[in-house]
Amino acid sequence: MPDESPALVAVAHGTRDPGGAAVVEALLERVRALRPGLTVRAAYVEITPPSLPDVLAALDGRSVVVPLLLAPGYHSTVDIPRAAAVRPQATVAPVLGPDPLLADALADRLDEAGRLPGDAVVLAAAGSGDPAATVAAEQQARMLATRTGDPVTVAYGSSVRPDVPTAVAAARRAGAARVAVAAYLLAPGFFATRLATAGADLVSAPLGPHPAVVRLVLARYDAAAG
């Protein structure tokens, strides 16, 4: 029998970096592998096609929109709900972060990059003018600190302060022998590229199709699908 569950529409920010869309598709391939028969589609808020309204218009029946965003902000509170309104049968799930599963993924990416116990860790978040995004990043940093056993500070890639180079320099002034930057990003793009010049000893890769992220996408879907 065909799967009659609502379609899962994963909506990412979008980027001019072609690697960004490739990472999103790799993530969704793993989602499909864990949930055979489930209709899974990718959409983007801006820059990268297809748009969320276009994807929803091509689907029949119910859909659950899962924002592939790590913190709340204008996209999750305004852009995505407005775009999803073209389909009354579409339900919008919460954003991915903060969540302990993301702390697991961040810790694994740091270990892959060569983090050692005792390294100062800077969580590099994209940042947003929405104060809820800052609160969410701080919550995620606490979850990561619990996971790694080392303190974690937060820095941002937008106009929110501190920026990542400033946070790295502050960690060194505080006596850190080594500083590791945890890229709190789903996929490669402009901000991820800039992290290499922040002055840290190591920078982790974006979260991408990490198994914990895959499980989190499905958890958000299941909770919203009811």
Q: What is the pLDDT of residue 1?
A: 41
Q: Which of 34, 29, 32, 69 is nearest to 52 (CA)?
A: 69
User: Are 195 and 144 members of one domain?
Assistant: yes
Is residue 165, in this structure, part of any structural domain at all? yes
pLDDT in tens, 51-66: 999 999 999 999 999 9
Q: What is the pLDDT of residue 3?
A: 63
8's tokens: 């899962």
pLDDT in tens, 157-170: 887 899 999 999 99
Q: What is the largest CA-CA distance in the chain?
A: 62
User: Are 108 and 58 members of one domain?
Assistant: no
125's tokens: 């978040």
Is residue 137, in this structure, part of any structural domain at all? yes
Enumerate residue ranges in the chain where pLDDT < 50. Answer: 1-2
Q: What is the pLDDT of residue 197?
A: 95
Is residue 90, in this structure, part of any structural domain at all? yes
Cβ–Cβ under 8 Å, residues 212 and 101: yes
CATH number at residue 29: 3.40.50.1400
Work out the burial of residue 109: count CB atoms within 10 Å of its CB; fewer than 13 is exposed, 13-18 middle, 19 or more buried: buried
User: Are 52 and 65 members of one domain?
Assistant: yes
Q: DSSP letter at 187?
A: S
Q: Where are the beta strands (DSSP E) in 55-149?
A: 63-67, 90-92, 120-125
Phi, psi of 146 (to 5 degrees): -65, -40
pTM comes to: 0.95
Interhelix angle 211-225/18-34, rounded to 10 degrees, is: 70
Q: Where are the beta strands (DSSP E) in 30-133?
A: 40-44, 63-67, 90-92, 120-125
136's tokens: 């969410």
User: Are 156 and 192 members of one domain?
Assistant: yes
Q: What is the pLDDT of residue 2?
A: 47
Query: What is the rounded CA–CA span in Å between residue 48 and residue 45?
Result: 8
User: Are 106 and 48 members of one domain?
Assistant: no
Q: What is the pLDDT of residue 158?
A: 80
